[in-house]
Amino acid sequence: MKIALAHDWLNQMGGAENVLECLVDMFPDAPVYTTIYAPDLMPSAYQQWPIRSTWLNHAPLIGRYHQPYLPFYPLAVQSMDIRGYDLILSNKSGFIHGLRHDPSQQKHICYCLAPTRYVWDYDGYATREGFGRWLGFAMSPLIQALRQWDYAAAQRVDRFVAISCEIQQRIKRYYDRDSVIIYPPVNTDRFQPLPSSEKPDDYYLIVSRLIPYKRIDLAVQACSRLGKRLIVVGDGRDRAPLEAMAGPTVQFTGRLPTEEVVSLMARCRAFFFPGFEDFGIAPVEAQAAGRPVIAFARGGALDTVIEGLTGLFFYEQTVEALVAAIKQFETIQFDSAIIRANAERFSETRFRQEILRVVENL
């Protein structure tokens, strides 16, 4: 069976690229079709892949500033020539699911990271990317047209796979399509609990990009108010305002090497996940290290955290709600072995098995 992989764009690293790397490893002979590819911004290993980009890749400065070109992506996607392949496996958060295939001779499985945010949730997308909301009003006619295109494109997909219950619900709401859930692959082997003879240190941990929708401000203010030690790993445009609001018990480290993050995960008292995410890999990594998670009770956290066994939820994105959750957390004992066992549900091995099962069934 001849397989082609499809990915929206290759000019930045994130969770989507982690999934793509696993798919490339599973199907090493499959070419990767994408709209744009900026090799200088991607890992050097990608240069060994058979990557096939579109005419859009020649647009000025598109590698570093791809958002202004978003209205052109549907045209670029539809220009892809994927004849001769039996199966197309797309890894989608943008428009790549709209590629044209011959349904009489080809099948298309879409691994959906999210229905296109730019189209269906402009306000949320603008918050993520730091755009002004006023731009949404100016672009309203274009966004409406893109919604029609996006919906029609989704009807051509043979099988949708969602990354979480949240995304499954959005696929149904926006595309009126059913889907199965396969959680993204997490490198759970990299993280291990402390030996039973050792106890964790007395600090809470965040590992994240420091941008508004991650709601790191809630954890910074809660720990400052309670006088609890918090280590914040990561960087981003919110770092300066977060440091300004932080008390003396909050430490910002910037980005750290992987081995240091692994050690901090294993030794923290608990991991904070205060944002609303489609899935969220970091909380699974913390649980793989045997540490409980205190998470906002929406999105992917509802799939990955078991309340009372592997962590606790807080139900409003307020400092007061998080403070109450921290106080409750400190009255509960958690079993690191149970937490680790929960994380293993999200391993790379499990992802590979479930993806292959979908391929075989189709």
19 and 136: one domain?
yes
Model confidence over 334-355: pLDDT tens digits? 999 999 999 999 999 999 999 9
> Above 70 in pLDDT, residue 116?
yes
Query: What are the distances in angstroms from CA 3 to CA 59, 100, 131, 219, 358?
Result: 28, 15, 37, 45, 14
Q: How confident is the model at residue 135 (pLDDT cuts 50, 70, 90)?
A: low
Q: Residue 128: its pLDDT value, please?
A: 60
> Above 90 in pLDDT, residue 285?
yes
Q: Residue 134: its pLDDT value, please?
A: 61
Q: Residue 226: its pLDDT value, please?
A: 98
Q: How confident is the model at residue 156 (pLDDT cuts 50, 70, 90)?
A: very high
Q: Which residue has the higher pLDDT, 221 or 141?
A: 221
> Above 70 in pLDDT, residue 125?
no
**Type of residue found at 53:** S
Q: Residue 138: its pLDDT value, please?
A: 64
| Residues, the chain | 362
245 and 176: one domain?
no
Q: Of 258, 285, 260, 259, whose CA–CA distance to 271 is shortest?
A: 285
- As a whole number of angstroms, the distance between CA 185 and CA 285 comes to 11
SS3 state of residue 328: helix
15 and 135: one domain?
yes
C-beta of residue 135 within 8 angstroms of C-beta of residue 67: no
Domain that holds residue 310: 188-345
136 and 229: one domain?
no
- As a whole number of angstroms, the distance between CA 248 and CA 354 comes to 46
- As a whole number of angstroms, the distance between CA 301 and CA 252 comes to 24
Most confident option among 72-76, 127-131, 321-325: 321-325
Residue 296 pairs in a beta bridge with 314
Q: Residue 244: its pLDDT value, please?
A: 97
Q: Residue 117: its pLDDT value, please?
A: 82
C-beta of residue 205 within 8 angstroms of C-beta of residue 289: no
218 and 304: one domain?
yes
Q: Of 169, 286, 149, whose CA–CA distance to 231 is shortest?
A: 286
Q: What tokens appear for 170 in the block?
A: 């959005």
- As a whole number of angstroms, the distance between CA 315 and CA 38 comes to 40
> Above 80 in pLDDT, residue 229?
yes
Q: How confident is the model at residue 129 (pLDDT cuts 50, 70, 90)?
A: low
36 and 146: one domain?
yes
In our burial notation (b when 16+ CB lie closer than 10 A, e otherwise), range 148-161 reads: ebbbebbeebebbb
Q: Could you tell me what percent of the chain has a pLDDT over 90?
A: 83
What is the domain-level CATH number for residue 113? 3.40.50.2000
Handedness of CA 227, 228, 233, 237 (dihedral sign): negative
340 and 234: one domain?
yes
21 and 50: one domain?
yes
> Above 70 in pLDDT, residue 133?
no
Q: What is the pTM of this model?
A: 0.87
Q: How many domains does the chain have?
A: 2
- As a whole number of angstroms, the distance between CA 320 and CA 338 comes to 29
Q: What tokens appear for 199 in the block?
A: 């106890």
Q: Residue 127: its pLDDT value, please?
A: 63
Q: Residue 111: its pLDDT value, please?
A: 98
C-beta of residue 33 within 8 angstroms of C-beta of residue 60: no
Model confidence over 185-226: pLDDT tens digits? 999 999 999 998 999 999 999 999 898 889 999 999 999 999
C-beta of residue 350 within 8 angstroms of C-beta of residue 189: no
244 and 98: one domain?
no
216 and 174: one domain?
no
Q: Residue 119: its pLDDT value, please?
A: 86
Q: Residue 231: its pLDDT value, please?
A: 98
> Above 80 in pLDDT, residue 162?
yes
C-beta of residue 128 within 8 angstroms of C-beta of residue 100: no
Q: Of 290, 289, 285, 296, whose CA–CA distance to 318 is shortest?
A: 296
8 and 149: one domain?
yes
SS3 state of residue 51: strand
Mean pLDDT across 267-273: 98
Q: How confident is the model at residue 63 (pLDDT cuts 50, 70, 90)?
A: confident
Q: Residue 14: its pLDDT value, please?
A: 80
In the DSSP assignment, the letter for residue 336 is H
138 and 209: one domain?
no
Mean pLDDT across 222-241: 96
Q: Residue 130: its pLDDT value, please?
A: 61
Q: Residue 137: its pLDDT value, please?
A: 60
